[in-house]
Chains A and B, each alone.
Chain A
């Protein structure tokens, strides 16, 4: 969990990305004549539909997204309402997950905490993929010196260990005497995750682009005088986006874990924001006397991360016909 980069298996994904693009581009012309030609995506969908891991992870994610979007559907209790009489009370019929030290309802907080956790994961992934893809496709398509410049530049960021980098960024942005607001701290956490993780997406995109660039249809397009922009958007992007999407799915889970890590260290999201990471951070001192305070939010993080990783794995397998 400490390093979302390593969770995604950067190098392995890079290699399979190249292979995938290679395969994908051959798929159309080398497909069997007796069957109706299928695109990479419909082929993958056909594969995925029957996979139990895909279905299960999709259901879990759907439920969690629903919780995040509409927490009041699941609980009518105010997550910030403290009832000290019930401080540290164990799970019961009234409160399924028990109460924490301040007398907050752990179940209500877990439901309301999903949004912040998911938002961080979502925006961090979006930003990581955007930055990574743009730089990756430029590096892969452009002439050599731009490529090496961008690649070395990304190496700088890839070389910084994630937790260390995040601590440095977040503590530098927030002096210990300051108390950043809710929006500001979420933005900062998202940005620091993205800044430290984009090289992975960039490498995947770059290697996919390098392979796709050599394909005949790209050469043909170039020969016909197509502009670089047209080549990139019409021909390269549709064939290189798949491996990055796989990475994004897995990374989303990892980033939710990263949010919890940073909150636990006290530099990520912090109260009054309710997130799973904040809940874990608040409960660590009371584990022995009230384990339910820690176990429930930690369980949510684990299940969510697992669901996204499973989904990513399933999608990767489906998009890589070679592995079948």
Chain B
């Protein structure tokens, strides 16, 4: 993608529409050559933080594995995130409240059992049931009866363990009733918690943890903690996104830099992101040439200011001051080497419902005003930004801290955790002691996915512990609006309220840059910055 920065910001909608025609064929890169249908592909990975249950994996390290192991009802096109049916034959609804879902016949789990309607219902009930404490359980909240299995009060015992909105009609048909009309629901069905689970899961979860059994194009082969996760092609897989290679090695790296060296040397086949060092002076272009992959990303980087920290609570002036003290323009150009663009809102450009400049002057660098607001905020002491320090996360935030320090004249320090798992442990445990990195990568291309998980009370990734009745109400209303355009208007109103409260400070939006090795003939980067497994073609060794 050689678009200028201005064009990128000014024409997000046009970009989204023309993306498939730009930059090496819309996220892909191909070379001519003989193909090896039984080859091995190795991809960059990070150590999964939690069990490899589809509904318990909300971070990228584990998500990469469960994504390959489990197939959902719908899939997303790599280029623009448009949905298409995978396990589902059809998804119909007349009122956006009751969905009739029909499955394609003859689908199998890796252990040979059938993928039927019951396996979906069981999995969704498991995910939603509060005592199971599944990280992504809140994604089930649109389904009727969710409140019975997942009470708002964390300590209350749920009245039921099954959601009333789920009904098995026949082995290949199920009916889902939502608590309110929700036009986004069919898009949501492609997200990982909506994967089916086999009977074996409910029989022995410990065994499943050690050797997950899914219905996806890849099956689990072996795992060496902190080193390698090996997946193999599931030969009985018949759906559209089946793979064209045999073995998938997910190599666990603690540093992107090392992985990049391996990629250039041909010891690693795919990386969905490149380390900052490779981006300095666009070095990767010289290193990799046509092996570079581009994609439109639906990501949003932000800095969260948790409400459970007394100094941050309801101190909007402080939030605004900090935001205005960050020189986004300069940091994206220098430290981030132009691989990001400054952000001006809480929704990523390129998706429907994005409006330019929602954050307005508060996301524009203005040290004088920032200093004045900071004085009025009455904050004393030291600011910190917490994040994992691997994967190129440290440099931009250290730069942000320096920017804050110089603009506000307050001590600011970057506080690093060794890896992403450790960092998420701190965040999920609500043990942050200062500001924290809160980057979000959309699961499905909808404005809803940028707001509900992050800013709704109790949302799965509500890192700042934000809770606003107004936002909750607007989101609830928007979720229940069948008409998509009207729904988007309500979501935008919610974003306006978020802009007023500033639970998190938008920082930048990433431009997707990945790469493949010479061993591959083709690879594709998706809008969620993942490998499109079905697009991998391995070069035959002659």
Contact = CB atoms under 8 A, between A and B. Distances in A.
Q: Do A and B bind each other?
A: yes
Interface in B371-420: 386, 389, 395, 398-399, 402-403, 405-406, 413-419
A179 B280 contact: no
A76 interface: no
B335 interface: yes
A102 B395 contact: yes
Contacts of A81: 406
Contact of B335 (A101, A175, A176, A288): A101
Contact of A84 (B257, B335, B389): B335
A85 B413 contact: no
A86 to B, nearest CB: 9
A177 B402 contact: no
B406 A285 contact: no
Contact of A285 (B257, B399, B402, B419): B257
Contact of B402 (A84, A284, A290): A84
Contacts of B257: 284-285
B415 A179 contact: yes
A270 interface: yes
Interface in B321-335: 327, 330-331, 334-335
A177 B425 contact: yes
B453 interface: no
Given A101-B335, A176-B419, A177-B422, A84 B403 contact: yes
Give the dominant DSSP class at A's interface: loop
Given A101-B395, A102-B395, 19 more contacts: A82-B399, A82-B403, A82-B405, A84-B331, A87-B335, A102-B398, A102-B402, A175-B422, A176-B421, A177-B417, A177-B423, A177-B431, A179-B416, A270-B416, A285-B257, A285-B275, A285-B276, A288-B283, A290-B280
Nearest to B414: A271
Interface string B154-198: 000000000000000000000000000000000000000000000
A284 B257 CA distance: 10
B106 interface: no
A271 B385 CA distance: 13
A204 to B, nearest CB: 37
B33 interface: no
A176 B422 contact: yes
23 contacts: A81-B406, A82-B403, A82-B406, A84-B334, A84-B399, A87-B334, A87-B335, A101-B334, A103-B402, A175-B422, A176-B419, A176-B421, A177-B422, A177-B426, A271-B398, A271-B414, A271-B416, A284-B257, A286-B280, A288-B277, A288-B283, A289-B283, A290-B280
Nearest to A174: B418
B281 interface: yes
A266 interface: yes
Closest 6 CB pairs of A and B: A285-B277, A176-B422, A82-B402, A87-B334, A176-B418, A289-B280
B327 A84 contact: yes
Interface of B: 257, 275-277, 280-281, 283, 327, 330-331, 334-335, 386, 389, 395, 398-399, 402-403, 405-406, 413-419, 421-423, 425-426, 431
Contacts of B327: 84
A288 B278 CA distance: 9
Interface of A: 81-82, 84-85, 87-88, 101-103, 175-177, 179, 266, 270-272, 284-286, 288-290
Nearest to B431: A177
Nearest to B423: A177
A271 B414 CA distance: 8
Contacts of A103: 334, 402
Contacts of B276: 285
A62 to B, nearest CB: 34
Contacts of A87: 334-335
B335 A102 contact: yes
Contacts of A177: 417, 422-423, 425-426, 431
A268 to B, nearest CB: 13
Contacts of B275: 285
Contact of A85 (B330, B386, B417, B423): B330
A88 B280 contact: yes
A280 to B, nearest CB: 14
A84 B431 CA distance: 31
B330 A102 contact: no
Contacts of A88: 280, 334
A226 B239 CA distance: 92
Contacts of A85: 330, 334
A285 B413 CA distance: 21
Contacts of A179: 386, 415-417
Nearest to A178: B417
A175 B419 CA distance: 11
A286 B277 CA distance: 6
Nearest to B276: A285
Nearest to A86: B334
A176 B431 CA distance: 14
A163 to B, nearest CB: 16
A289 B395 contact: no
A169 to B, nearest CB: 15
Nearest to A270: B416
Given A82-B399, A87-B334, A289 B417 contact: no
Contacts of A84: 327, 330-331, 334-335, 399, 402-403
Given A179-B416, A285-B257, A102 B281 contact: no
Contacts of B415: 179
A289 B330 contact: no
B394 to A, nearest CB: 9
A177 B416 CA distance: 9
A266 B418 contact: yes
A179 B402 CA distance: 19
B70 to A, nearest CB: 29
A103 B423 CA distance: 27
Contacts of B399: 82, 84, 102
A284 B395 CA distance: 13
